[in-house]
Chain A
Amino acid sequence: MNKLPRLLYTAALTVPLTTNALATSLEIEIGYVGFEPDHGPVLSNLLPEPADTGFKGVELGILDSNTTGRFLKQHYTLRGLSTDKADEIVPATRTLYDQGVRLFVLNLNREQLINVATALPDDALLINAGSQDNRLRTHDCIPGLLHSMPSRAMLTDALAQWLAKKRWNRWLLLEGQTQEDKAYADSLARSAQRMGAVIVARKQWSFDTDLRRTAQQELPPFTQTSEYDVVIVADERGDFGEYVPFNTWLPRPVVGTQGMSPVTWHRVVEAWGAAQLQSRFSKLANRDMYGGDYAGWAAVRTLAEAVTQTGSIDPANLHRFIMSEQFQLGAFKGRKLTYRSWSGQLRQPIPLVHPRALVSQSPQEGYLHPVTDLDTLGFDQRESQCSVKGDS
């Protein structure tokens, strides 16, 4: 892989208008900024996630919005850039802002999001379609920032609810060595406490042998502890986790980042009209749709839905509408999606999948909540310090 810093691609995507552009027509520019770092090698390198995850979803969101927009004389243009150079992100975003872009979909990590939010004036509307970091939803509380990507806590709560329903309450937790793996494992620990599960052991994988040849030797002793009902893996990059299933000391299912996983989106999701979204996406991108693509698509659709309903492109107006009771997003997850007023997080059901099939979808039946059962996933209002709505 090319080690040199590079500007991966920029895009200006437009679709020709079929209706006459009248004086009342709206031109909506949406900026996309993506960070695509080279993550370095992993042991399991058979099925790498595509480099343009996220961007392609944004592209489809623009196409869908233009198909709708041509009946309303609204025209959406994507001004996008992706880079693997972290220090390009803030200047590039600032340049888009200076050129008049006010609506941004950001596929960045937590630190980059904070830097971008700090660097841009208040009249920009930002949607995080990349980072699952819990702190953004509980402590950082960046005013005006929305999250179409679910938090790690939403994913691990979705998994924990399903495990609780199965009464698989004794967990063996295996984590990798990256910060992200630790964050996922910490999120699992919180979910375990919420659901009354016990983590019988939490072990870090630190071997550096090539597991493709020795998984059968290495993993059984590594997973030899007191009795557990399930093995949970926290290995976001897929370094060793792919080799855990079928190699555990006790014959137990494997869930988490590998085995059966809670995901934002996956190609096996087909109910609720999702088959149509999947086929539109694969026609556009010639590949399957990933969670990052879904978050990018949902971010653009959020903006476009608000433009359609308000007839406005003013970021403050749009933000107010998105946070209001009137906002509803149809997004192929079986029910309308809305944003949490305290953290700006898009509420959404979480599919639980294995590579070839949908297993379940959380919230699980019977998890009740006074407002919406979707708020049983992730940080509820009382668990978050945030109040990003501005007026509360």
Chain B
Amino acid sequence: MPKPPFLKTLLIGALLASPMTQAATAYVSNEKDNTLSVIDLETLEVTDTIDVGERPRGIALSKDHSKLFICASDSDTVQVMDLATQRIIANLPSGEDPEQFALHPDNRRLYIANEDDALVTVVDTDTHEVLAQIDVGVEPEGMAVSPDGRWAVNTSETTSMLHWIDTETHELVDNTLVDQRPRHVEFSHDGSVLWASSEIGGTVSIIDVDSRQISQKLSFRIRGIHPDKIQPVGVKLSADGRYAFVALGPANHVAVVDARSHEILDYLLVGRRVWHMEFTPDQKYLLTTNGVSGDVSVIDVDAMKVTKSIKVGRYPWGIVTLD
């Protein structure tokens, strides 16, 4: 594969984005409304709602923050939105029913989970070419690429496995069996550890990346909530390496975990059916998408308190933030 013109892309991106200097912003995909809600992170208010393709779920930023990739699941495409103009500028050949994806550090290769087809599709976001399709388990969902770019890891929900894809050869080289219905994978910032949530199993597996073996399994207990309803989905790690946050779905709580000792420190009550999360660019706040209540909860990370909820569209799913 040719070396991507990495620097050039960055510069062009910066030039394009510069006329639109504005406060930090969050984009939230609303699965049942076919829209994105735009939240101004200064005022914590929704400032705009943008129409996109059908059933938008996973969303991700390009590394230069000039573009937003949107899994429009029922339109069977990944849309590319230019953030300066907020227009859809391309539809990538994503394979059917894309749900989540992850962008390689090279800012070109996008790894897309095709939920209905038991495939991972790799697309070059510059040329719009499909580079590879890799067979994985039933209902691929979570995707993550390791910080060094070596691994793409996919979770398949009904197969209950993590699939390790070598990004050089695009071959599946190993599988790690985890608890039922793995939803999300997240690499630690140094790339040595992978966190994987199992929604129905009710656990988070902490996996040593070198051996690809589970080193520890976390389970959660909240007074007054039946253990079956504690269903981990999203996982987010703070940049300073202190905390892991785990969204517990219909338990309506986010677990705060010490990312080093793996001790569970607290449970924060958020909106209903909490799914995915993102930090604000300054890492001061963590935003959660709450599918059933149709809002975004704002967690003040220093105070470890939920300070606000912001009404968005129906079934908010994915979230990104940028300066």
Q: Mark A363-387, 1 if CB is under 8 A from B, else 0.
A: 0000000001100000000000000
A71 in contact with B180 given A276-B116, A372-B226 (CB within 8 Å)? no
* B200 touches which of A18, A64, A336 (Cβ 8 Å): A336
Which single member of B135, B157, B159, B228 contacts A335 (CB below 8 Å)? B228
Q: List 13 A-B contacts (CB under 8 A).
A: A67-B118, A67-B138, A68-B137, A68-B160, A71-B163, A71-B172, A71-B175, A279-B116, A280-B116, A330-B201, A334-B250, A335-B231, A336-B201
A367 nearest CB across to chain B (Å): 12
Let me know if A330 and B135 touch, CB within 8 A: no
Q: Are B157 and A273 in contact (CB under 8 A)?
A: yes
Q: Once the chains bind, are B175 and A372 in contact (CB under 8 Å)?
A: no
- The answer to whether A109 has its CB under 8 Å from any CB of chain B is no
Shortest distance in angstroms between A43's beta carbon and chain B's nearest beta carbon? 38
Hey, which chain B residues are within 8 Å of A204, CB to CB?
none
Collect the chain B residues with CB atoms within 8 Å of residue A360's CB.
none
Partner of B139, one of A71, A276, A301, A334: A276
Question: From A69, which residue of chain B is reached at the shortest CB distance?
Answer: B159
Cβ–Cβ contact A328 & B175, under 8 A: no
Which of B115, B159, B180 contacts A329, CB < 8 Å? B180
The interface size of chain B toward A, counting residues with CB under 8 Å, comes to: 30
Q: Which residues of B contact A112 (CB under 8 A)?
A: none
Q: How far is the CA of A186 from the CA of B87 in the complex (A)?
A: 61
B49 to chain A minimum Cβ distance, whole angstroms, is 24
What is the bound-complex CA distance between A62 and B97, given in angstroms? Answer: 22
When distances are taken between beta carbons in the complex, the residues of chain A under 8 Å from B157 are 273, 276, 330
CB distance from A193 to the nearest CB of B (A): 26
Report whether B137 and A336 are in contact in the complex, using a CB–CB cutoff of 8 Å. Answer: no
- Point out which of B163, B200, B250 has the most chain A C-beta atoms below 10 A from its C-beta: B200
Chain B residues with Cβ under 8 A from A247's Cβ? Answer: none
CA distance A71 to B226 in the complex (A): 33
Whole-angstrom CA separation of A301 from B180 in the bound complex: 12
Interface residues of B, dominant DSSP: loop
In the assembled complex, the Cα of A308 lies from the Cα of B116 at a distance in Å of 22
Contact of B180 among A18, A67, A328 (CB under 8 A): A328
The answer to whether B262 has its CB under 8 Å from any CB of chain A is no
Q: Give A336's nearest chain B residue, CB to CB.
A: B200
The answer to whether B159 touches A336, judged by C-beta atoms less than 8 angstroms apart, is no
- Give, as a whole number of angstroms, the nearest-CB distance from B66 to chain A: 32
- B residues near A328, Cβ cutoff 8 Å: 179-180, 200-201
Chain A's closest residue to B118 (CB) is: A67
What A residues does B138 contact at CB under 8 A? 64, 67-68, 280
Counted as pairs of residues, one from A and one from B, with CB atoms less than 8 Å apart, the total is: 64
Q: Do A68 and B139 touch across chains, with their CB atoms under 8 A apart?
A: no
Residues in B whose Cβ lies below 8 Å from that of A64: 138, 158
B231 / chain A contacts, CB cutoff of 8 Å: 335
Chain B residues, Cβ within 8 Å of A308: 160, 177
Check A335 against B229 for contact (C-beta < 8 Å). Answer: yes
Name the residue in B118, B158, B181 with the highest tally of chain A Cβ atoms < 10 Å from its Cβ.
B158
Q: Determine the chain B residues whose CB is within 8 A of the CB of A373 once the complex forms.
A: 226
A100 to B158, CA, bound (A): 28
Report Cα–Cα, A83/B179, bound state, in Å.
38
Known contacts: A328-B200, A330-B181, A334-B250. The answer to whether A68 contacts B228 by CB under 8 A is no
In the assembled complex, the CB of A262 is this many whole angstroms from the nearest CB of chain B, namely 20
Is residue B194 within 8 Å, beta carbon to beta carbon, of the partner chain? no
List residues of chain A with CB within 8 A of the CB of B163: 71
User: Does A68 contact B158, Cβ atoms closer than 8 Å?
Assistant: yes
Q: Please determine whether A71 and B202 come into contact, CB atoms closer than 8 angstroms.
A: no
- From the candidates A18, A67, A273, name the one contacting B159 in the complex (CB within 8 A): A67
Say if the beta carbon of B161 comes within 8 Å of chain A.
yes
Among residues 211 to 242 in chain B, which have CB atoms less than 8 Å away from a CB atom of chain A?
Answer: 226, 228-229, 231
Q: Which residues of A contact B115 (CB under 8 A)?
A: 276
B116 with A71: CB separation less than 8 A? no
Q: Known: A273-B181, A330-B158, A336-B201. Is A18-B135 also a contact (CB below 8 A)?
A: yes
**Which of A18, A279, A280 counts the most B-chain CB atoms under 10 A from its CB?**
A280
Q: Using an 8 Å CB-CB cutoff, how does the interface string of A287-321 with B read, 1 for contact, 0 for none?
A: 00000000000000100000010000000000000
